[in-house]
Every structure is written in structure tokens, then in C-alpha cells.
Amino acid sequence: MQAKPLALVTGATSGIGKETVHSLAQKGYEVMALGRRRDRLGSLASLSKDITTHVLDQSKPEEVEELCCKIKSLEKPISVLVNNAGYSVRGVVEEVPLDAVRRMYEVNCFSLIRLTQACLPGMRKARSGWIFNLSSISGKLTFPANGFYSSTKHALEAITDALRAEVAPFGIKVVAIRPGPIATEFGQVVGALSPWLADSDEAYKPVHEKAMGFLKQVTDPASIPGPRVVSDLIMEVLAKKDPKPAYAVGPMTGDLLPSRLEKDDAAWCSYLCGEIGLDKLKI
């Protein structure tokens, strides 16, 4: 009997990560599911004998390094790596504490890099493998009060582009997935981890109001899909011999994302400020 290929999914306790773990197990993979919440990992493992779980807080480099040592000692290589873990904080550049920015980079970028480094030797030896980096439409555009999160995704896009070329000779495929708004716990986490918004300087309140009003206007809650659309896309791409470098899915990917890619920086700034209403705002 042929051994099942091994997949690793970060941020597996909810949303896109959880759905992807389910889908991979159903497709015949053994799945290592990583996440912070031990209770949720327990319920995830009970769904299939092919799912093993590991508690990992990706904001803590020492925990990431310990997990990387385990990866290197595995008897078989990781065949599919889904770098899904990530979160956002919101606020204008002047007001977000630098420690909060550092922690977000630790989770969204540095731990992702380290886990990828740990998986690559096995993939290179096997001359095959898949790496899915969960970016965002924010990896190609940004909004007021969302600059720091977008910057982590811009960094991820650059890492993905470089890595894709570096490992192509080894038969390893690297794909960026760019979701628009997806119905997960993401928004709740943003609010919980951005307490400074409540004490924002009065001068910035009109900026926040304009930015949040615009986002509400372009994201009709009734049109926001659940995380299954992303896991289904990953499964669809896994079946392709020649995948595209990146795939977008969900709201705002059919209008705002193409608009940003088509416009130069000056045209985009003018368009964005006009759409949000910041072009006429004088404080």
C-alpha cells in the first residue's frame, strides 16, 4: 500500500485553515494541523485518524524553532505546505504601537519563513512539493488604517515571488492565494487586537469613519463567502500540472484588485482618496 503524502497547515483551528485540513484529509493526505488553541485542535483531530495536531503560537520564535526541528526529523517529507496563519491589527500609522507591529510580523512573515525553510530540504530531495502562501488582496493594495497588515502581505508576496523562481528547478510549485473578505473570525480578532482604536486621537476620527464607511459600502455581508471557497480553490490548484503563480477569490477581487494592478501609484492614490472621500476632507 502506497504511503499517504504528508501536508502541513498552519492556523488550523478556524476558518480557512480548518477547512483546508478537512479537505486535505478527505483527499487522502496525512495532515499536520498547527494552531494556538489546544481545545480546538483536539476536536479537529477527532475528525480523522489522518489528522495529527500540534500546539504552536507563531508569535513565539522558540516554539516555531522547536516545531521546525520536528519537521526535519520526520521520516517522510512535507508534500504540501499551507502557510495560512495570520492576523491583522488596524489603526493609522501614527497610533499603532510598534510592539503590536512586531508581533504581527512575527506571525505573518517570520514564522512563515522559518517553517518554509524547514520544509524545503525534504521537498528538494523528493524533487516535488507544493507551497501555498495565504496572502490577501491586501498584498497588492491597501486602505487607510490597514497599512501595517497590508505591509506584511506585501512582504509575503515578495517572498513568494522570489521563492517560486528559486525552487522551480526542483519541481516545487509555489502559489499565492489572495482572498478578499471571507466570513471567518478574522474581523473579530482585528477588533480585539486593536484596542487603541477606542482612544484614537479625535483628529483621526474622520479618517477612520471615512475608511470604515467605504469598506462597509464595498463589502455587502450577504455576498461574503465562507472559508470553504478558499479550501476548494487550494484543492483545485493541487490538481493542476501547471498552476498560475497566484489566484484571487472572493469579494473585491473582481473590481478593486484589477483596478490597483492597472493604475500607477498617483492614479491609484487619487482614485482611492476619491472613493473613500478623503480628497475633500480637511481637518
pLDDT score recorded for residue 189: 84
| Other CB atoms within 10 A of residue 23 CB | 20
pLDDT greater than 70 at residue 147: yes
SS3 sequence of the chain = CCCCCEEEECCCCCHHHHHHHHHHHHCCCEEEEEECCHHHHHHHHCCCCCEEEEECCCCCHHHHHHHHHHHHCCCCCEEEEEECCCCCCCCCCCCCCHHHHHHHHHHHHHHHHHHHHHHHHHHHHHCCEEEEEECCHHHCCCCCCCHHHHHHHHHHHHHHHHHHHHHHHHCEEEEEEEECCCCCCHHHHHHHCCHHHHHCCHHHHHHHHHHHHHHHHHCCHHHCCCCHHHHHHHHHHHCCCCCCCEEEECCCCCCHHHHHHHCCHHHHHHHHHHHHCCCCCCC
Q: Which residues are catalytic?
A: 149
pLDDT attached to residue 4: 94
6-201+224-251 maps to which CATH number? 3.40.50.720
Better-predicted residue by pLDDT, 120 or 198: 120
Give exposure, 107-116, as e/b (b: 16+ Cβ within 10 Å).
Answer: bbbbbbebbb
Task: Write out pLDDT tens, residues 193-249.
Answer: 899 988 899 999 999 899 888 887 777 777 789 999 999 999 999 999 999 999 999
pLDDT in tens, 42-100: 888 888 999 999 999 999 999 999 999 999 999 999 999 999 999 999 999 999 999 99
* Ranges of each domain in the chain: 6-201+224-251
Render pLDDT for 154-201 as a digit per residue (tens, 0 to 9): 999 999 999 999 999 999 999 999 999 998 888 888 888 899 988 899
pTM over 0.75: yes
Tell whether the model's pLDDT for residue 1 goes beyond 70.
no
Residues 270-280 have a mean pLDDT of 92
Checking if the pLDDT of 39 tops 80, the result is yes
Percent of the chain surpassing pLDDT 90:
78
